[in-house]
């Protein structure tokens, strides 16, 4: 149950709403908001919240620098706090950092909340925060977010503040501090013990066995008054989808992820649980190697883009829990989402037209897929192959092993399947996967205009200009880019009726941004 | 014979199943047995004698069913009695002694436990009393160490002793009737005497009635008051023992009596180089010597009978000659020249010269090959015959063994009778055109009349082809019939050898004498006399 | 309820057909073959009939299946209808067609695998029994060692090493199964090599290959054939277990094991869709076992009835 | 003779250890690449390999591993650095618990059913037991498991997943593990029952059984006292074989019921290339198999007077 390392890496910065204006003048105080939204039912303490997660393995690690799937992510959110939290509405919420400020975007000062203690009883200090950040920096670090924090040149404690200095100005630093890999952990002699379970989060680890279960009890000294309602949390790794579903129906667990779309209707019919289907910006796609014939010809790329039935894929592959995407990695939840682009529909005639433009009457291509790329990729490939035939395009679906997909197939074969997690920051998405020369530019697509705009938008402060720039970039990616993106996939989870959820569930990551454990309560 | 009738069987009919069809194997037998009387039931295989014997207990084996007639035991109709009622009788009032005690004792339990089972289950006596009783009976049966033998497991006791222990077990409830089903057939000839004597004595001591089933007339003559002869499920005749022996009425009975009449005429002493010479052979399995300094010659056109009880080294000698067991020392010469000791060292021509016929034709013929290939393979291999020539040769061979080629050539061994199978074994040996044929107990698994045919055939072929035979047997009657020279073996050594006439005339080595004297004779008084003379001698 | 009733009716129909078939065979045959048919219990006739039907379906799959194996011909999870007799699967492929192709893929692959395991295992096993000595010891100890490693785990390991294509799947399972066949073949052959006819053939100077081929193999056939049936079932179930763990026959190839697994979540809701491929597996396994029982019974010559 | 078998068993384990070591050597990629993943550089790879001892020649590594394993030290898990013995400990206990639980259910059931089927052979009972057993083994294990969940867990009788940890009480363990144990029982009972029946029926044709019948003994006594003792060897062997299966072959059941046993650990380790764990678990499995067979051999010897009491 390995999730690909790459999308996990690429997923880290989440919502940048309000940051740019905050970058210049806004003080942290202006950002303080109530936690969560209005509760649907009265919040109450008590109960044991059991979560069945379709991930988990004995090789899991307590070291936050190595986390890569929902099980360890949720386990982390139970016992740790971060400098900054992303609220249900996507706003930044101060957590261990009471406030933050910058004068030039290059030097940032985070004021550490006082009176917060770790489970061990030790106070949370600026030194702890420095050590926690440094865990992901330096030559000896094995953290997967090391490249992300590489721009930090210095971190130091100054009284009850932490001062972070960057190579160059970056208004996004607070977003980096929300990354789930960077919890605040206790420092010993200036460094953190990655194997320690100690944290300052809402729950204290009682017992755990990697790949099996973890049991936690409520932290009685938790500094948040209106959070962490449950007395106990039990996390269970249940890899088998049917077992997960059974566990939910029989009441063994209250929440499961990765619900099989085929069974959603029947599950709802049972009346024991409800489906939470949260639209995010995560999307599935098929990158084509733009350097290689025939994909070097944009007509061919367009032909293929018109040769698949996006609506059918959303229905079948996502079971309706998602939305049609227009080959655009920027989703509707993004601030600068370009909603007015011409929608591409399944149009074999138009596909044929573009083929003719390329001087071809028919086309033979091979699409490499594995369910490791995304759940249902093989079926999606089969559907693509079926619909493309009407346009004179013969797609041979080559089913490749899950094992090693990301190292042997992705970015190796010229036409394959891919997956990207939710991304609220346009710049990040484009820089990671569409900029010329980017490590994970999976389609090897280069467009001078696009690259020019990308640089300009990063430093553009005028909201409208910026919007226009991003719209143009989306237009370029959609109609000239080399990645077919047919759908945005929702986060689909099923939650027992014994559990009450806030009205608003975060679209940032699964499980209410992993914070279901402290935001939800027993009904 | 004025005593009460104990068992009365009338018009007994029993069917046996093969596949989905039932065929009658006992066709209307009448039988009357008085208290204390011993009835001998004799016949060849397939006569139905065991089936009748078991029917006397109201029992039919799996695959058999009693379809007609009545079985009255002491006034109880066993055909109408319930299973529970029959169980009460079995073991308690009617007991059974099987042919192979080694197979019929449960290997998992001690002898005395098995002895005590019937008395305790039938409520005849307590366990303690049964144990004492067992020891007493073991003593009466002249078992060695009667106090301790019961506490051994069956595999720790010899065959003859087991058979006596089984008779004792049958006696445990002091039944009115015991069925003896070939109780001595599986035993060596010298052991047979002891068991026979013990059975006779115990039956007389307790005045128990018995049905004694056997194919061996001479044996039954020692024990039975009356003899009934069966053939294919029907009665041939019945008469008191002496009358039956002296004046059989029916032709079939006479032919049974006449079996032992065949004898090979005396041959002049052989001269020249022997076909095969065994010279001072010592052989071992592992470190245990099983042959010690064995030497003898076999000449062309002559038959050497190798005689001895089981374990005497007869078959091992054959394995040395064929090369299956290379000797530790000594050699086997073929026409004066030494043969390579191991099979692998021998040339195809050397292999061809020595052929073998086995005791059990069932296991010696590959059941999945047709006669054409069974017989044809040696001719094809050694003589290079192919196609029509091979076919002709196989047909010739079938003619030689008196089987009609057209009818048999494409049959499988399973479709032949025991005697026919043994003939195929002979034909296969002949096909190689050898000089020596080793016959390993080739007749001992066959009925007497069939044996006679095989012996005659072998004798005829020897005359026609000048074959040398090495004839391994434990049956002295067969030796008398076919041998020119006799080699007597005991515990891996040759203890006496010479021409047949010398061997059968006194004086003998003591062991040879024991062997010879133990062969039952057709005289109801033979056993009594023999025991008396042995008692006198010791 | 209608479903259960139709299954019971279907099975009863098959039994009736088997009865008729056996009667017809008895009439038609003569001699030895007829006596075999006479001996045949109804269950065995049923087993043979089922196996025959499967074989026909497997061979004639393209002709019988109303739709292609991989083509999406309808909506998702359509109910049973005249057009799609058993409805459609999760992406709208015809369930009946996939079941029919599944017969070909699953049964075919299991058959090839078992056959391969048998050729290798039985030849080596008989050879070891015949030769004896250190060759026998070496082979037997090696096989013992392989058998000590659990089959599923060993297959898993090998499949991870060599990748999951149909060819490696067949080879790996055949290799693992060959060890079991080896053990049996050796044991059976050990009973045969002590027979006098083997000694006779050795005395005649026959070579090992002749002994294996003409003398031993024909006599070892009955238990080996019976074992073949059982092994076939085990291979069958092993492949579906591997499919369950994601290492079996790969989609979009229709395979019953994967089809059960893919639809397994439906069992939770009492939906019978996964029952169809599982039922196909079970029916064949039961049928093969019936025939095997009969063969074993014949081979042992035990008069049970 | 028993000593001889023990020696043979140890020799066998030695060969097994060689085979396991050899097979895991073949796994593509090594732990260093697997551990470092995307961030691997030639230097870090080399350093990590050196640190993990991956650069030693294979025989040296084999020797180190074997001597370590003999002292119960299987080394540390290559992927998270925890001692393997610690990793395996609790799971081995769980696996053995489930195996024994299933055996405690299935052995008596299959013996009783097998004996009754032999006693009443060709009766309706015999045929029904046979057909039922056949059907049970004819469905894939995971299917049986799901059906049991549908019938027994969704009705609220038993939990559908096993949530146990070292502090769970025995009673809770028995209750929570009931469904996996029942699934395994269904899977192995058929085999054992059929073997018991066959072994007994096989003996029913022997002369000493006929003798027992002719002694007027009841059918039940004949089967129990005369047939069963002699059928023990094959029955013990089939039980040992199935116990070995219960310990080593239950990956699928573990997955369905989320049971933290060795099988899942092994599958996990294979996919993560944690060779040290793969080797350790495989060796434990092989050891269990060899030991069980050894015990079966010894028991067969003890229960066979012919082998226990020499002439």
Q: Residues of D with CB below 8 A from B117's CB?
A: 215, 217, 225
| Residues A397, C76: C-beta atoms closer than 8 Å | no
Contact exists between B and A (3 or more beta carbon pairs < 8 Å): no
Query: Could you tell me which chain A residue has the CA closest to the CA of C71?
Result: A386
User: Does residue C16 form part of some domain?
Assistant: no
Mean pLDDT of chain A: 83
pLDDT at A36 over 60: no
Residue B263 maps to a domain? no
Residue C278 inside a domain? The answer is: yes
What pLDDT is attached to residue A2? 33
Measured between CA atoms, the residue of chain C closest to residue A370 is: C251
- Confidence (pLDDT) at D252: 83
Q: What is the 3-state secondary structure (H, E, C) of A101-134?
A: EECCCCEEEEEECCCCECCCCCECCHHHHHHHHH
Q: Cis peptide leading into B507, omega within 30 of 0?
A: yes
Is residue B218 a contact partner of residue B516, using CB atoms and an 8 Å limit?
Answer: no
Residues of chain B contacting D303 with CB distance shorter than 8 Å: 108
Q: Where residue B420 sits, what CATH number does that domain have?
A: 3.40.50.300
Residue A449 near residue A455, CB atoms below 8 Å: no
pLDDT band at A423 (very low <50, low <70, confident <90, very high): low
Cβ contact, residue pair C90, A401, below 8 Å: no
**pLDDT confidence of C163, banded at 50, 70, 90?**
low
Q: What is the CATH number of domain D92-266?
A: 1.10.3720.10
pLDDT band at residue D35 using 50, 70 and 90 as cut-offs? low
For residue C149, list chain D residues with Cβ-Cβ distance below 8 A.
16, 19-20, 282, 285-286, 289
Smallest CA-to-CA distance from A255 within A274, A268, A241 is with A274
The CATH number of the domain holding residue C279 is: 1.10.3720.10
Residue D87 Cα distances to A234, C59, D169, D262, D269, angstroms = 20, 49, 21, 10, 11
More confident residue, A9 or B300: B300
* Cβ contacts of D226 on chain B, cutoff 8 Å: 106, 108
Say what the pLDDT of residue D273 is.
67
pLDDT value, residue A14? 29
Do residues A281 and A90 lie in contact, with contact meaning Cβ atoms separated by under 8 Å? no
Three-state SS across chain D? CHHHHHHHHHHHHHHHHHHHHHHHHCCCCCHHHHHHHHHCCHHHHHHHHHHHCCCCCHHHHHHHHHHHHHCCCCCECCCCCCEHHHHHHHHHHHHHHHHHHHHHHHHHHHHHHHHHHHHCCCCHHHHHHHHHHHHHHHCCHHHHHHHHHHHHHCCCCCCCCCCCCCCCCHHHHHHHCHHHHHHHHHHHHHHHHHHHHHHHHHHHCCHHHHHHHHCCCCHHHHHHHHHHHHHHHHHHHHHHHHHHHHHHCCHHHHHHHCCCCHHHHHHHHHHCCCHHHHHHHHHHHHHHHHHHHHHHHHHHHHHCHHHHCCC
Average model confidence (pLDDT) across chain B: 85
Query: Does C197 sit within 8 Å of B360, measured CB to CB?
Result: no
Using an 8 Å CB-CB cutoff, list residues of chain B that contact chain C.
17, 19-21, 62-63, 322-324, 343, 346, 348, 351, 354-356, 358, 360, 363-369, 373, 377-378, 381-382, 428, 432
Instruction: Give the confidence band of A22 by pLDDT, cuts at 50, 70, 90.
Output: very low
Minimum mean pLDDT among B522-526, C205-209, D70-74: which range?
D70-74
Is residue B72 assigned to a domain? no
pLDDT tens readout for residues C91-101? 778 888 888 88
Q: Kindly give, in sequence order, each residue whose CB lies less than 8 Å from that of residue D234, ignoring residues fewer than 6 positions away.
A: D195, D199
**Mean of pLDDT values over B115-135:** 88
Chain A residues whose CB is inside 8 A of the C250 CB are 399
- Reply yes or no on whether the pLDDT at C291 is more than 50: yes
Q: How far is C38 from chain D (nearest CA, A)?
A: 18
Q: Are B119 and B173 in contact (CB under 8 A)?
A: yes
Among the partner residues D201, D252, D289, nearest to C241 by beta-carbon distance: D252
Give the global pTM: 0.79
CA angle A374, A375, A378 (to 5 degrees): 85
Q: How many CA atoms are closer than 13 Å to the CA of D126, on its beta-carbon side? A: 15
Sequence-distant (6+) residues with CB within 8 A of D170 are none
Q: Enumerate the residues of chain A whose CB falls inside 8 A of the CB of residue C246.
A: 402
Q: Hey, which bits of chain C come out as E strands?
A: none
Alpha carbon distance C289, C40 (integer Å): 14
In a domain, B68, yes or no: no
Q: Do chains A and D touch (3 or more CB pairs under 8 A)?
A: yes
339-358 in chain A: CB under 8 A from chain C: none
| pLDDT at A132 (0 to 100) | 93
What is the reported pLDDT for D81?
A: 66
Higher pLDDT, D26 or B190: B190
Contacts of C203 in chain B (CB under 8 A): 322-324, 343, 351, 354-356
- CB-CB contact of D85 with D229 (8 Å): no
E strands in B286-325? 288-298, 303-307
Question: Residue C35 has what pLDDT?
Answer: 65
Q: Where are the alpha helices (DSSP H) in B65-143?
A: 83-89, 101-104, 111-121, 127-140
Structural domain contains residue B435:
yes
pLDDT, mean over chain C:
80
Which range is least confidently modeled, A378-387, B93-102, C11-20? C11-20
Backbone angle region of B252, left / alpha / beta, with phi > 0 → left and psi within -120 to 50 → alpha: alpha
Asked if residue A30 has pLDDT above 50, the reply is: no
Cβ-based contacts of C196 with chain B (< 8 Å): 358, 360, 363-364
Closest CA to A3 of A509, A420, A492: A420
Q: What is the pLDDT of residue A416?
A: 93
Model confidence pLDDT, tens digit, residues D100-113: 999 999 999 999 99
Contact B514, B190 (CB under 8 A): yes
Residues 328-357 of A with CB under 8 A from D: none
Most confidently modeled range among A388-402, B9-23, D90-104: D90-104
List the single range of A321-325, A436-440, C16-20 with lowest mean pLDDT. Answer: A436-440
Q: pLDDT band at A38, cuts 50/70/90?
A: very low
Query: Does C84 contact chain D (CB < 8 Å)?
Result: no
Asked if the structure places residue B243 within a domain, the reply is no
A29 — pLDDT class (breaks 50, 70, 90): very low
How much of chain D, in percent, has pLDDT values that exceed 90? 8
Report the pLDDT value the prediction gives residue A24, as an integer from 0 to 100.
29
Q: What would the pLDDT profile of C269-280 be if each residue is shown by its tens digit?
A: 777 777 788 888
Using CB atoms, which residue from B62, B356, B367 is nearest to C203? B356
The pLDDT value recorded for residue B107 is 87
Tell me the average pLDDT across C115-125.
Answer: 91
Nearest CA in chain C to D293: C148
* Beta pairing partners, B356: B438
Q: Is A291 helix (H, G, I), strand (E, B) or coil?
A: coil
Q: Which helix (H) or strand (E) holds B76?
A: strand B76-77
Nearest residue on chain D to B121, alpha-carbon basis = D217
User: Is there a contact between C150 and D245 if contact means CB atoms under 8 Å apart?
Assistant: yes
- Residue A144 confidence class, pLDDT cut points 50, 70, 90: confident
Where does residue C67 rank: exposed (0-12), middle (13-18), buried (19+ CB within 10 A)? buried
Is there a domain that residue C5 lies in?
A: no
| Domain with C111 in it | 41-299
Q: With cut-offs at 50, 70 and 90, classify the pLDDT of residue A18.
A: very low
Is C300 within 8 Å of chain B by CB?
Answer: no
Query: Which of C159, C125, C158, C160 shows the shortest CA–CA distance to C142?
Result: C125
Helix (H, G, I), strand (E, B) or coil at B455: helix
Residue to test with chain D: of C4, C110, C139, C145, most D Cβ within 10 A = C145
Q: Would you say residue B446 lies in a domain?
A: yes
Q: Tens digits of per-residue pLDDT, C205-243?
A: 888 888 888 888 888 887 788 778 878 888 888 887 777
Residue whose C-alpha is closest to residue B37's, from B164, B219, B177, B174: B177
Closest residue of D to A249, CA-based? Answer: D154
Average of per-residue pLDDT across D37-58? 62
- Segment B272-284 shows an average pLDDT of 88
Best CA proximity match to B418, nearest among B459, B460, B453: B453
Q: Which residues of D touch A (CB under 8 A)?
A: 36-39, 77, 79-80, 87, 90, 146, 149, 153-154, 156, 159-161, 163, 165-167, 255-258, 260, 264-265, 268-269, 271-272, 274, 277
The overall longest dimension of chain C from CA atoms, in Å, is 72
* Nearest by CB: C246 against A245, A382, A402: A402
Q: What is the CA radius of gyration of chain B?
A: 25
The confidence score (pLDDT) of residue A16 equals 29
Half-sphere exposure of C162 (CA within 13 A, CB side): 17
Q: What is the dihedral of CA C196, C197, C200, C205, to 10 degrees?
A: -130
- Using the predicted structure, report yes or no on whether residue D146 has a pLDDT greater than 90: no
Question: Does the pLDDT of residue C303 top 60, yes or no?
Answer: no
Identify the chains in contact with B, defined as 3+ C-beta pairs within 8 A.
C, D
Residue B465 lies in a domain: yes
Q: Is the pLDDT of residue B283 over 80?
A: yes
Average pLDDT of span D138-143: 82
Name the residue among C116, C100, C117 with its Cα closest to residue C256: C100
Q: What is the pLDDT of residue D53?
A: 66
Smallest CA–CA distance from C215 into chain B, residue: B366
Q: Tell me the helices (H) and strands (E) count for chain C, helix number first.
A: 15, 0
**Chain C nearest CA to A325, separation (Å):** 20
Q: What is the pLDDT of residue A306?
A: 95
Rounded to whole angstroms, the Cα distance separating B173 from B192 reads: 25
- Interface mutation vs chain C, best among D5, D138, D197, D199, most C CBs within 10 Å: D138
- Pick from A246, A399, A401: CB nearest C268: A246
Total domains in the fold of chain C: 1
φ and ψ of A27, to 5 deg? -85, 165
Of the candidates B109, B215, B243, B220, the one whose C-alpha atom is nearest the C-alpha of residue B169 is B109
For chain D, give every domain's residue range. Answer: 2-70, 92-266
Which chains have at least 3 CB atom pairs separated by less than 8 Å from chain D? A, B, C
DSSP string, B221-281: HHH-SEEEEEETTEEEEEEEHHHHHH---SHHHHHHHHGGG--PPP-PPP-SS-SEEEEEE
- Give the model's pLDDT for residue D305: 81
Cβ atoms within 10 Å of B444's Cβ, excluding its own: 14
Mean pLDDT lowest for which of A296-300, B5-9, B132-136, C33-37?
C33-37
- A283-489 folds as Dipeptide-binding Protein; domain 3 (3.10.105)
Provide Rg for chain C, Cα atoms. Answer: 22
Question: What integer pLDDT is reported at residue A26 of this predicted model?
Answer: 30
Q: Range of B465's domain? A: 276-505
According to the model, what pLDDT value does residue A307 have? Answer: 94
User: Is D216's pLDDT higher than 70?
Assistant: yes
Question: How confident is the model over A77-102, as a mean pLDDT?
Answer: 89
What's the pLDDT tens digit per position in B412-446? 888 888 888 888 999 999 898 899 999 988 887 77
pLDDT given at position D42: 59
With a cut of 0.90, is the ipTM above it? Answer: no
Is C255 within 8 Å of C113 (Cβ atoms)? no
Query: What DSSP character marks residue B313?
Result: S
pLDDT of C48: 87
Question: How far does Cα D222 stand from its chain's mean position?
Answer: 33
Q: Where is average pLDDT lowest: A119-128, A486-495, D10-19, D88-97?
A: D10-19
Of A18-22, A217-221, C77-81, least confident by mean pLDDT is A18-22
Distance CA B187, CA B444 (A): 12
Binned at pLDDT 50, 70 and 90, residue D124 comes out as confident
List residues in chain D touching B: CB distance below 8 A. Answer: 205-208, 210-218, 221, 225-226, 229-230, 303-306, 309-311
Minimum mean pLDDT range among A419-428, A504-513, D126-135: A419-428
Closest CA to C259 of C245, C242, C240, C287: C240
Query: By the CB < 8 Å criterion, does A134 face chain D?
Result: no
State percent of chain C over pLDDT 90: 5
Closest listed residue to residue C150, CA positions, set D282, B253, A275, B118: D282
What is the SS3 assignment for B490? strand
Residue A19, pLDDT score? 31
B104/chain D closest Cα distance in angstroms: 4
- Contact between C18 and C42 under an 8 Å Cβ cutoff? The reply is yes
pLDDT of A124 higher than 90: yes
Domain count, chain B: 1
């Amino acid at each position: 149950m390995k999730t690909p390392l790459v999308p996990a890496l690429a997923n880290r910065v989440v919502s940048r709403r309000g940051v740019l204006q905050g970058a210049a003048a806004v003080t942290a105080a202006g950002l303080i908001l109530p936690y969560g939204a209005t509760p649907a039912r009265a919040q109450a303490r008590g109960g044991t919240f059991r979560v069945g997660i379709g991930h988990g393995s004995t090789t899991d690690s307590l070291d936050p620098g190595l986390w890569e799937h929902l099980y360890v992510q949720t386990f982390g959110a139970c016992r740790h706090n971060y400098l900054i939290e992303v609220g249900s509405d996507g706003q930044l919420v101060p957590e261990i950092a009471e406030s933050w400020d910058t004068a030039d975007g290059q030097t940032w000062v985070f004021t550490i909340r006082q009176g917060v203690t770790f489970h061990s009883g030790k106070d949370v200090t600026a030194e702890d925060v420095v050590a926690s950040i440094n865990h992901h920096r330096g030559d000896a670090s094995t953290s997967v977010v090391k490249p992300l924090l590489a721009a930090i040149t210095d971190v130091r404690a100054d009284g009850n503040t932490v001062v972070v200095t960057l190579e160059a100005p970056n208004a996004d630093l607070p977003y980096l501090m929300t990354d789930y890999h960077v919890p605040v952990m206790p420092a010993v002699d200036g460094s953190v013990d990655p194997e320690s379970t100690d944290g300052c989060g809402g729950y204290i680890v009682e017992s755990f066995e990697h790949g099996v279960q973890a049991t936690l009890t409520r932290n009685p000294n938790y500094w948040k008054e209106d959070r962490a309602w449950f007395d106990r949390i039990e996390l269970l790794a249940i890899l088998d989808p049917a077992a997960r579903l059974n566990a939910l129906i029989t009441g063994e667990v209250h929440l499961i992820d990765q619900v099989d779309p085929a069974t959603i209707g029947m599950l709802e019919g049972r009346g024991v649980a409800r489906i939470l289907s949260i639209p995010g910006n995560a999307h599935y796609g098929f990158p084509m190697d733009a350097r290689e014939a025939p994909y070097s010809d944009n007509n061919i790329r367009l032909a293929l883009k018109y040769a698949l039935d996006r609506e059918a894929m959303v229905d079948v592959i996502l079971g309706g829990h998602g939305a049609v995407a227009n080959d655009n990695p920027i989703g509707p939840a993004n601030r600068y989402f370009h909603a007015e682009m011409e929608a591409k529909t399944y149009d074999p005639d138009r596909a044929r037209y573009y083929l003719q433009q390329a001087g071809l009457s028919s086309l033979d291509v091979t699409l490499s897929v594995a369910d490791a790329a995304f759940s249902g990729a093989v079926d999606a490939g089969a559907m693509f192959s079926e619909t493309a035939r009407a346009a004179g395009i013969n797609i041979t679906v080559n089913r490749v092993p899950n094992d090693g997909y990301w190292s042997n197939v992705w970015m190796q074969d010229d036409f394959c399947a891919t997956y990207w997690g939710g991304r609220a920051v346009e710049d990040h998405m484009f820089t990671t996967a569409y900029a010329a020369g980017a490590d994970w530019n999976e389609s090897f697509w280069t467009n001078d205009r696009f690259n020019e705009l990308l640089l300009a938008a990063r430093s553009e402060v005028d909201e409208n200009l910026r919007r226009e720039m991003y719209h143009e970039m989306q237009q370029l990616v959609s109609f000239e880019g080399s990645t077919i993106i047919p759908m945005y996939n929702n986060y689909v989870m099923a939650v027992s009726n014994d559990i009450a959820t806030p009205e608003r569930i975060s679209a940032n990551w699964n499980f209410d941004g992993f914070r279901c454990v402290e935001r939800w309560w027993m009904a | 014979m004025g005593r009460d009738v104990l068992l009365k069987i009338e018009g007994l009919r029993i069917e046996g199943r093969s596949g989905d069809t039932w065929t009658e194997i006992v066709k209307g037998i009448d039988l009357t047995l008085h208290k204390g009387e011993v009835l001998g039931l004799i016949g060849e295989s397939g006569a139905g004698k065991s089936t009748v014997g078991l029917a006397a207990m109201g029992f039919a084996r799996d695959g058999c069913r009693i379809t007609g007639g009545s079985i009255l035991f002491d006034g109880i109709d066993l055909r109408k009695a319930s299973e529970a009622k029959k169980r009460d009788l079995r073991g308690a009032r009617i007991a059974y002694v099987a042919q192979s005690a080694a197979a019929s004792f449960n290997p998992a339990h001690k002898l005395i436990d098995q002895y005590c089972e019937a008395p305790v289950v039938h409520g005849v006596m307590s366990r303690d009393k049964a144990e004492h009783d067992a020891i007493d009976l073991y003593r009466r049966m002249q078992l060695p160490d009667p106090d301790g033998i019961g506490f051994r497991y069956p595999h720790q006791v010899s065959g003859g002793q087991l058979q006596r222990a089984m008779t004792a077990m049958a006696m445990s409830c002091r039944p009115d009737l015991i069925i003896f089903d070939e109780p001595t057939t599986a035993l060596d000839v010298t052991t047979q005497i002891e068991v026979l004597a013990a059975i006779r004595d115990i039956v007389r001591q307790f005045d128990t009635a018995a049905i004694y089933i056997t194919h061996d007339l001479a044996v039954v003559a020692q024990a039975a008051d009356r003899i009934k002869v069966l053939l294919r499920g029907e009665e041939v005749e019945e008469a008191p023992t002496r009358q039956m022996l002296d004046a059989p009425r029916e032709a079939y009975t006479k032919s049974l009596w006449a079996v032992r009449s065949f004898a090979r005429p005396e041959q002049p002493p052989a001269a020249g180089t022997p076909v095969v010479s065994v010279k001072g052979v010592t052989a071992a399995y592992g470190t245990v010597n099983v042959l010690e300094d064995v030497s003898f010659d076999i000449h062309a056109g002559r038959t050497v009978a190798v005689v001895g009880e089981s374990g005497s080294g007869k078959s091992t000698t054959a394995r040395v000659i064929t090369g299956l067991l290379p000797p530790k020392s000594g050699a086997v010469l073929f026409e004066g020249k030494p043969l390579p000791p191991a099979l692998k060292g021998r040339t195809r021509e050397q292999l061809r010269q020595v052929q073998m016929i086995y005791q059990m034709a069932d296991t010696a013929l590959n059941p999945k090959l047709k006669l054409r290939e069974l017989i044809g393979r040696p001719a094809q291999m050694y003589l290079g015959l192919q196609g029509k020539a091979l076919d002709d040769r196989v047909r010739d061979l079938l003619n030689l063994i008196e089987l009609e080629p057209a009818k048999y050539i494409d049959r499988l061994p399973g479709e032949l009778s025991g005697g026919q199978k043994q003939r195929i074994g002979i034909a296969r040996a002949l096909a190689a055109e050898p000089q020596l044929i080793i016959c390993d107990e080739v007749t001992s698994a066959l009925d007497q009349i069939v044996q006679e045919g095989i012996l005659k055939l072998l004798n005829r072929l020897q005359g026609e082809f000048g074959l040398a035979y090495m004839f391994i047997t434990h049956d002295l009657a067969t030796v008398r019939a076919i041998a020119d020279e006799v080699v007597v073996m005991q515990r891996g050594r040759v203890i006496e050898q010479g021409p047949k006439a010398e061997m059968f005339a006194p004086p003998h080595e003591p062991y040879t004498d024991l062997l010879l004297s133990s062969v039952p004779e057709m005289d109801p008084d033979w056993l009594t006399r023999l025991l008396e003379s042995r008692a006198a001698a010791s | 309820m209608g479903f259960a009733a139709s299954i019971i009716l279907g099975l009863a129909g098959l039994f009736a057909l088997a009865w008729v078939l056996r009667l017809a065979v008895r009439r038609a045959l003569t001699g030895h073959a007829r006596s075999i048919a006479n001996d045949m219990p109804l269950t065995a006739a049923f087993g043979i009939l089922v196996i025959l039907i499967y074989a026909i379906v497997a061979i004639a799959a393209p002709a019988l299946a109303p739709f292609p194996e991989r083509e999406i011909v309808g909506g998702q999870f359509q109910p049973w209808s005249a057009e799609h007799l058993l409805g459609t699967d999760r992406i709208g492929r015809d369930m009946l067609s996939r079941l029919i192709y599944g017969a070909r893929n699953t049964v075919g692959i299991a058959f090839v695998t078992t056959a391969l395991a048998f050729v290798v295992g039985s030849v080596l096993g008989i050879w070891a029994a015949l030769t004896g000595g250190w060759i026998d010891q070496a082979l037997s100890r090696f096989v013992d060692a392989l058998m000590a490693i659990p089959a599923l785990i060993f297959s898993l390991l090998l499949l991870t090493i060599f990748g999951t294509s149909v060819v490696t799947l067949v080879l790996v399972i055949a290799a693992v199964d060959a060890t079991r066949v080896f053990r049996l073949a050796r044991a059976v052959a050990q009973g045969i090599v002590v027979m006098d006819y083997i000694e006779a053939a050795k005395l005649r100077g026959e070579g090992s290959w002749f002994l294996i081929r003409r003398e031993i193999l024909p006599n070892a056939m009955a238990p080996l054939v019976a074992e073949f049936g059982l092994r076939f079932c085990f291979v069958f179930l092993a492949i579906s277990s591997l499919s369950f763990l994601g290492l079996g026959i790969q989609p979009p190839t229709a395979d019953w094991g994967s089809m059960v697994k893919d639809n397994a979540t439906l069992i939770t809701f009492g939906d019978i869709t996964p029952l169809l491929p599982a039922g196909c597996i079970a029916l064949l396994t039961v049928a093969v076992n019936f025939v095997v029982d009969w063969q074993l019974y014949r081979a042992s010559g035990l008069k049970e009835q | 003779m028993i000593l001889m078998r023990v020696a043979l068993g140890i020799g066998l384990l030695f060969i097994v250890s060689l085979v396991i070591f050899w097979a895991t050597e073949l796994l593509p990629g090594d732990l260093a690449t697997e551990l470092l993943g995307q961030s691997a550089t030639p230097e870090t790879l080399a350093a990590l390999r050196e640190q993990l001892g991956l650069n030693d020649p294979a025989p040296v590594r084999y020797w180190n591993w074997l001597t370590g394993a003999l002292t119960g030290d299987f080394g540390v898990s290559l992927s998270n650095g925890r001692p393997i013995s610690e990793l395996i400990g609790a799971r081995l206990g769980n696996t053995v618990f489930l195996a024994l639980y299933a055996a405690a259910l299935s052995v008596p059931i299959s013996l009783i059913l097998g004996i009754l089927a032999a006693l009443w052979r060709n009766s309706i009972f015999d045929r029904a037991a046979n057909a039922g057993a056949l059907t049970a083994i004819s469905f894939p294990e995971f299917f049986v498991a799901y059906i049991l969940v549908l019938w027994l867990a969704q009705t609220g009788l038993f939990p559908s997943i096993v949530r146990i940890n070292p502090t769970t009480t025995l009673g809770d363990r028995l209750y929570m593990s009931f469904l996996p144990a029942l699934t395994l029982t269904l899977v192995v009972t058929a085999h054992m029952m059929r073997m018991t029946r066959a072994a007994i029926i096989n003996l029913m044709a022997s002369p000493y059984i006929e003798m027992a019948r002719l002694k007027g003994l009841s059918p039940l006594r004949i089967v129990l006292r005369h047939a069963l003792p002699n059928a023990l060897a094959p029955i013990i062997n089939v039980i040992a074989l199935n116990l070995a299966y219960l310990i080593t072959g239950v990956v699928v059941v573990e997955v369905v019921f989320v049971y933290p046993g060795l099988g899942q650990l092994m599958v996990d380790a294979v996919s993560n290339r944690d060779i040290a764990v793969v080797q350790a678990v495989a060796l434990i499995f092989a050891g269990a198999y060899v030991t069980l067979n050894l015990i079966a051999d010894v028991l067969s010897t003890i229960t066979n007077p012919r082998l226990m009491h020499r002439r």
